[in-house]
Structure 1
């Protein structure tokens, strides 16, 4: 049996949420000796470039989570044209939404309706549209930004498991992104509806948004929150952050033309142009 499949299988019986909350307690610890030891070990292990951060001293952060979600210097990530990457990471997959299905990995697809928490009406808006998935590894910058300018219309919390979302698990756990805990953020844009889905994962202790603060963990039921007072965000503006790593799935109602030099598995940076929608520049 391949090690990647074994890694995926052993995750099924694990207490995902308990493990994630325990890790979250350590990540929020303010004991200087402990949080500094965690931060120094992480910087060494993952070769974190602190020169990009507004606070270059990693131990100056009050907690590991504060270090992990550190702010970058204003010029560290230029914002491109058209649809831009919402985060630093790996462009796992991208392409057309075919018959309401998004491509996960070889042999695996998942439905937009399941991704959106069973919302068939929302899923129908994306028939014939496009998607892109960006995986954030532990070493990446962990704030999430807007792929396009948009106005938030609804946020949906969808409960679920917390499988790892790395390549090994993506290849072997069906419906992974529609199975894990997630936040579905629906936006109106100049180019039609857009959904940005923040997918939780193993040891992701919390997901935050700029408009609601920390949202997960919540109870085990779908929660829908509409926004009558507009929340308007520009392309490249911060929209949320992961406390430890995870994945962002973007869905667009219109068919996107992705850049010719992109391929699944490509490394991308926040603000990098991924392509264009009809009527947008790239």
Structure 2
């Protein structure tokens, strides 16, 4: 990395620490939710152009037909565009995106990036709920701005708890993953916990800078309260069913108990994935 690139990285990281993260995200959230035609059309067109959004796979292909930027951002896809792997033993990607990291959880520590780890206890924010995953398996899937932003079930199970965890709102990308200690365990997040035929499973929806909200099928859109909020559920969801969505994007982390499943060798850090694509299988 040359001096100019290094300087840009340091300025970006410093800005992450001094910008009013939550206030900025609330302002962006109001704009993203606006149904004013001028506001939402400008926002949609600018975003579509910048990130070269492919609407050919969307259910609604006319960008200006969406009622708000949020509706555009969380757009549904055409039926059949994302096939969910039908093998009863397969584990599938919960989202379109890129694998940030995946592998074994070693001594309760999840690998974030070179030189960076965070603990399962920190991520789930409840030692009792985190206990089953201490020596298990994890996969972190990053959703870039251009991606489809609904999160789906990687495996069938019964949703038993959701835990809202307040936190910071650092941007989520390769630079912050490599330089912000415990990034995913520091940002605001929604922990979803399941009983499955192979034991406990968790899907953690991690917020980020200017993410205007997280929503799940069990809780609706999350209203940040600044405190831990645990809710009990008994909701059966099949592999591939929609679990939640991001209003602006971030990251989904999947956790399994030890000795229950394994990731396919073809997948590693920076591999691209589509929702429903097989990533692993039961042992």
TM more than 0.5: yes
| Compared CA separation, residues 275 and 5, structure 1 to 2 (3 A) | farther
**Which of these residues, 49, 57, 73, is aligned with residue 62 of structure 2?**
57
Q: Which deviates the most, 120-129 or 264-273? A: 120-129
Q: TM-score, normalised by structure 2?
A: 0.94
- Aligned-pair CA distance for 1:130: 0.1
Aligned to 2:140: 133
CA distance in 2 between partners of 1:61 and 1:241 (Å)? 17
CA distance in 2 between partners of 1:12 and 1:34 (Å)? 29
Deviation readout 1:185-223 (Å, 9 max, x if unpaired): 0001111100100000000011001122101x3211111
Aligned to 1:111: 119
| Compared CA separation, residues 5 and 123, structure 1 to 2 (3 A) | farther
Q: Secondary structure at the match of 2:31?
A: helix
Deviation readout 1:47-66 (Å, 9 max, x if unpaired): 11111111111111100000
- Aligned-pair CA distance for 1:167: 0.9
Aligned to 2:28: 23
CA distance in 1 between partners of 2:171 and 2:207 (Å)? 9
CA distance in 1 between partners of 2:94 and 2:269 (Å)? 16
Contact 1:5 1:172 in 2 (8 A): no
Aligned to 1:220: 226
Aligned to 2:53: 48
CA distance in 1 between partners of 2:32 and 2:208 (Å)? 15
CA distance in 1 between partners of 2:176 and 2:14 (Å)? 9
- Segments of structure 2 that go 5 or more residues without pairing to the other structure are none
Aligned to 1:244: 248
- Aligned-pair CA distance for 1:277: 2.4
Deviation readout 1:214-273 (Å, 9 max, x if unpaired): 01x32111111112xx20110011010000010001110134321121120111111111
- Aligned-pair CA distance for 1:4: 2.8
CA distance in 2 between partners of 1:129 and 1:5 (Å)? 34
Q: Secondary structure at the match of 2:147?
A: coil
> How well do the aligned residues superpose, as a CA RMSD in angstroms?
1.1
Q: Which deviates the most, 177-186 or 37-46? A: 37-46
CA distance in 2 between partners of 1:4 and 1:232 (Å)? 44
Aligned to 2:236: 232
- Aligned-pair CA distance for 1:6: 3.4
